[in-house]
Each structure stands twice: as C-alpha cells, then as structure tokens.
Chains A and B, each alone.
Chain A
Amino acid sequence: MSQPFDEISAQLRRRHRKSARLKWISMGALGLAGLFLVLFFADMLVKGLPAFQQARIQVEVDYSERASQLPLAAVQENVRPLVSRGYLRLIPGRMDDNPELLGTTRMEWVLADGQVDQYLKGHHSKLRDSEQAVVDRLAAQGRAELRFNTTFFTRGDSKMPELAGIAAAAMGTVLTLLVTLAVSFPIGVMTAVYLEEFAPDNRVTQLIEININNLAAIPSILFGLLGLAIFINFFGVPRSTPVVGGLTLALMTLPVIIISTRTALRSVPDSIRHAAFGVGCSRWQVVRDHVLPLAMPGIMTGSIIGLAQAMGETAPLIIVGMVAFIPDVGGSFTEAATVLPAQIFTWAGEPDRAFIEKTSGGILVLLAVLITLNATAVVMRKKFERRW
C-alpha cells in the first residue's frame, strides 16, 4: 500500500520548511560573525590609522654654541613646548656630526610634541590655550601638518608617544618566531612521523598520543611557567631574550605541529605506502620520498597556523620577561627584546591618550602580518598542490 501523494507532500513541506529554517539560522549566524569582524576591523582602522601619521611643525632652529650645550635653546621660547623633546635631544649629536651647522639658523620641519599631534588630529590634548593659539597660527601659515609617520616603523618603544615605534617589537617577534620554528618544526614533524609511521601501536604510544592531544589544550600561561622553570632557572638561558621566548613558544607550538602533521600523514593513502614498499623502499625512504612530500601542504598549513597562534601569544612571554621596554631595534637572539603583542599590551597600559592610537596601530600591524602569514600558507599550499 503506497501513501497518497497529498500526505507525502504535506510531510515533505514540513521537511523543506525545517531545512529552510536551519538555512536561515546558519546564515544569520554567519552574518553576525561577519558583522563583528567588520565592526572590529572598522574600529581598529579608525583608531589605528592616525598612528601612521605624525604632526610636524616648521620652526626656526638656531644651531648656536649654546644649543650644543642646552638643546632647548635651539628653538624660540614660544614654540619650545611644541617641539618634541626627543627631537631636541638629538641636536647636539647632529652638530657634532656636521660642524658646518654651527652658527647657522635654519627653518626646519621638526617632529612636533605628541600633544600637538593629538591637537591637530582633533583629539583632547594637554596643550595650554596659549600653546593652542600658536599651533593654530602655525597651521594657518601652513607650518604645521600631519605627515606619514616613518618613526612608527623604524624605531623602538619610547616614553614620548611621538617617538614610539613598533620596529623593535617586530624585530623581536621575527627573532622569537625563528627560534620557535627552528625548534618546533623539526621536532614536531619528526615526532609525528615516528608516531605515525614507525611506532608500534601499543600502550606507550597511545599514552604519548593522549598526552600530546592534552598538551594542545593547556592554557598558554602554564607554558610560560614551564619555560621559566626549565629554560631560565634550570638551563640559565638569559631572560627576556628571543631565545627563551622562542623556546617557550616552541613548547606551545609543538603539539599543534605534531597533531597537524599526523593528520596530514594519515591523509596520505595507504596505497602509496604499499606501492613504495612494493618496489623495495625502506621505511624511511617511503616516508621521505613519498609520504612526506604528499603531506607537506598539510604540515605547512598546520605549522603556519601554529606559528600564527604563537605570534599572538602574550601571557607566556610576560612570564619569561619579554614585556621589556626596548627603545632600540636589536638584531640579536640573546639580548632583551619584546614582541608585537607584548608591545601592544604595554602601550595599552600607558595613561597618555596618544598611546591609544599607537595601540590600535600596533594591532593593525600585527593583523597585517598575520594575514600575510596566512596568505603565504595558502599560496604555499597551492604551489605544492600543483605538483600533485
């Protein structure tokens, strides 16, 4: 006995309605997530983009004998509070380097104080009314303007917002991640290869496997404590350095790399292994020549994701002392350094309003690097995939 069509269609309609409803709900969820993302980006852009510009003013600089002793004397009294003290401090040095400057007076575009910058950007500033009037006058004469802020990308941290830059932190991040990669990639991949291709399936390997999976779920701050205990206290690695930071992050990245490598290895069909064993490959040749190349895109993606995670980590690095105040762009693995998120963290805690835009600017830089990193992962993956 078959059901009449009407009954079937009534039931079908209910099913269709149900799937339509689910579709709308999931699309709504997606829309909401997208909205948050857009809001977040917009907020960061609005707050952060001004950080890429910095106020400069044109003033008369008097390279007198006195200015080489007392830099404040180089500019006239009425504009003195408007010029960055950091800039003024550089004057004696410049005069030593260029003796012909002595005794001359020039009109120069100089870095303005952070408060002038805030005032020109329309934010609240601590300038007195009289000082504001001077800035207004300069602006009217075309002698005060916002220019691209190269300082932000070329210098390290500073207590003066107009001189604070992201470069030292960026360099620290690069060095730290290099250490992380150099340590966790080979160890992680080889561990995964051993577990997946060589190890017998017994209690011990199962135990190791469970522990590795658990490791990935451990709060990152614990890795910081581990790093402090092992690397700094036990092995005596100097604190605050890219070496210790990188090693600590490597602890964190290892399980991610191991797990993604194992997944990638497992996705290589057994028929390839059989083919390779069948022509007389040793186990290692099977892995090196056939399995690893096929798994490489997956391994790369996993590693880059692991690195991107490590790059955003702050907590474990605070523990090993990488939230230092680093005014100079270093290049050494064994000198104190800081990293991008730690720099952002530091700026976010500054009371001076001018640091708010630095914070957002730093986040923009961090995001840009992360997006570049992920794009690299995608490109690399595509490139590998083309070689079947």
Chain B
Amino acid sequence: MMNIQVAERSVSPMTGHQSKGEPAVGAPVTRNEEAHHELAIRVRDLNLWYGQAQALKSINLDVYQKNVTALIGPSGCGKSTFLRCLNRMNDLIPGVRIDGLVEMDGRDVNEAKMDEVALRRRVGMVFQKPNPFPKSIYENVAYAPRMHDLVSRKTDVDELVERALRDAGLWEEVKDKLHQPGTSLSGGQQQRLCIARAIAVQPDVILMDEPTSALDPISTATIEDLMDKLKQQFTIITVTHNMQQAARVADYTAFFHLGEVVEYNDTQAMFSNPHTKKAEDYITGRYG
C-alpha cells in the first residue's frame, strides 16, 4: 500500500507520543514529488546535558537531503542545542555531555575518530546575529575555502567568491565594493554574506539558527527565497520562531518542547493537521 518513499520515511520516529499510545502519525504527504528523500542525518536517542540539567531528551530525527527542515518550539526547548549537536559546536561549551547517535554518511559524528574540523566543513552554520569576520567582503568568503585548501590560485578564488556571492543573492549589491569591510553592509546583506561564507566551502548541510530574527521583513523575505533556492544544492536545517516562515520555507517541521521532539512531520501536514495537542497549541499561537 505504501510507496517506497513513504515506507522509508515511516522508519523515522515521528513523535515521542507514539510510544505513549497516542495515534501514530501518518506518513507525511510529499509536497514536492521530485524532492530527494535520502537521509542526510540520522539522529537516534540523543541526550544532552549541560552539567546536571538535561537539555535534550532522547531525540530521534531523520533529516532528508536537499530539503528544508524547520525546528520550532518555545524558547528554551533545545532547538539551538540540537542544531549545535549536528556540527559539534557544543564541544565548545564546557560541561556538556552527549550520548546517542548523530549519523552522517554512515558515521557517528561524535565518534572519537571524527574530526570536528572536517565535520564543520561539511556542516556549515549561519547564526542568529549576522557575524561576518571583520575583514573585507571578499576575504569573508575566500577565507574558509582557502583554509581548507579547496582553492589556491587567485583566479579560482575570485571565481569561487563570485559564485558564492551570486548563490547568496548578494553579488549584484557588492560586486563593486568587494574590498570594503563586511561589517559595512546592512544587517540583511551581512546575513547573506554569512550565508555566502557558509556555502563557499560547498558543505552538505547548512544549519541556520533563527537566521532572520534580527532582520527586517524585506531582508527576511530575501533570505527565505534564498533558502528555497539553496535547498537544490544543500540540506538546510533552520530554527525559527516565525510560524509563517516555517510554513513557507520548510518541507519538514519538527516541534520541540522541553528538550523533546514532540512531533515531526511534513510541514503541510503539521500545520494543517497537527497530531499532538501541544503542537497544535503552539502553531495556533495558543501556547502560553
């Protein structure tokens, strides 16, 4: 009865409530039939503690390639924490303890052999507040590819910088001032510069933690369009507090609550027909 895609996806534990005897969540309905549904990241039974406080509880989540996955949920529920597990940025926080599996390409990213530098090259990140390096626009983009030895000849670097800036939809605005400081751009432009910086190393996955929360509506719309375009090349995982944004840009949405994934589903299904009361309350704005 089920087609292969659905069968594949039904492996992913959709909700924590399934086990508590609530009705199983139906297989997500695909909006975009030609979308890829290969696994990018597989998360199983992920727990995370900040010292004594548990911030993530038994997270199970499958992230699909070349899709946008949105993480929503009330403040403090662990969205950023989860995002940082995917590129091991939590390593930088003292006192963090992690167990469980975060699998990419068949390898556990937390295993001892995994080099976090190599991991972060494949899993880029865009932060809430635009944080370009205090260098020129050109250097912002060229720095990482050069550092990773992806390019070295000047012409190659030039080409790569132009491509990344074009992909980030910034090229037309900055092509005449590539050597001005990145910090001289507007907030929205800076955020696109950060996106260009992230995609310049051709990662597989881009993590975005509330990338538009510091931006005006027009810059926000620009970035949303951009995410829509970029998902043809990259797997995008974004955190947002903006329900409309999640509904607009995400193919899949995960609802976090108190460190758990309460519901994870196709965005359309999630927004039109949430299976859990908590998700419904949150999506409809009734959450306290």
Contact = CB atoms under 8 A, between A and B. Distances in A.
A279 B132 contact: no
A134 interface: no
A280 B117 contact: yes
Interface in B122-151: 124-125, 127, 129, 131-135, 143-144, 147-148
B127 A277 contact: no
B89 A279 contact: no
A122 interface: no
A90 B87 CA distance: 79
A285 B198 CA distance: 17
Contact of A388 (B118, B127, B183, B198): B183
A278 B127 contact: yes
Contacts of A276: 133
In this complex, the member of A273, A278, A289 whose beta carbon has the largest number of chain B beta carbons within 10 angstroms is A278
Contact of A272 (B92, B133, B197): B133
In this complex, the member of A201, A279, A281, A289 whose beta carbon has the largest number of chain B beta carbons within 10 angstroms is A279
Contacts of B144: 279-281
A273 B120 CA distance: 14
Binding site secondary structure of chain A? helix
Interface string B78-114: 0000000001010010100000000000000000000
A280 B89 contact: no
B87 to A, nearest CB: 7
Interface in A21-57: none
A279 B143 contact: yes
A289 B146 CA distance: 12
A285 B147 contact: yes
B197 A277 contact: no
A95 B130 CA distance: 79
A62 to B, nearest CB: 73
Interface in B231-249: none
A70 interface: no
Given A200-B94, A271-B127, A272-B131, A277 B147 contact: no
Interface string A245-284: 0000000000000000000000001011111111111100
Contacts of B89: 274, 277-278
A294 interface: yes
A290 interface: yes
A276 B94 CA distance: 18
Given A271-B127, A289-B143, A388-B183, A279 B134 contact: no
A388 B184 CA distance: 10
Contacts of A388: 134-135, 181, 183
Interface size class of A (residues with CB under 8 A): 20 to 34
A183 to B, nearest CB: 31
A294 B197 CA distance: 19
Contacts of B120: 277-280
A35 B115 CA distance: 63
A275 B131 contact: yes
A271 B129 contact: yes
Nearest to B207: A278
A331 B121 CA distance: 53
Contacts of B201: 279-280
B194 interface: yes
Contacts of A277: 89, 92, 120
Contacts of B143: 279, 289
A52 B112 CA distance: 71
Contacts of B197: 275, 279
B124 A281 contact: no
In this complex, the member of B132, B133, B194 whose beta carbon has the largest number of chain A beta carbons within 10 angstroms is B133
A277 B207 CA distance: 13
Contacts of A285: 147
A281 B131 CA distance: 15
In this complex, the member of B89, B92, B181, B201 whose beta carbon has the largest number of chain A beta carbons within 10 angstroms is B92
B122 to A, nearest CB: 8
Interface string B167-180: 00000000000000
Contact of B87 (A278, A282, A289, A294): A278
Given A276-B133, A279-B197, 10 more contacts: A200-B94, A272-B131, A273-B92, A274-B125, A279-B120, A279-B201, A280-B201, A281-B144, A282-B117, A285-B147
27 contacts: A200-B94, A271-B127, A271-B131, A272-B131, A272-B133, A272-B134, A273-B92, A274-B89, A274-B127, A274-B131, A275-B132, A276-B133, A277-B89, A277-B92, A278-B87, A278-B89, A278-B124, A278-B127, A279-B121, A279-B147, A279-B197, A280-B118, A280-B148, A281-B117, A281-B144, A282-B117, A388-B135
Give me the 9 closest cross-chain CB pairs, A-B, nearest first. A279-B144, A271-B131, A278-B125, A280-B120, A280-B121, A275-B131, A388-B134, A388-B181, A280-B117
Interface of A: 200-201, 269, 271-282, 285, 289-290, 294, 388
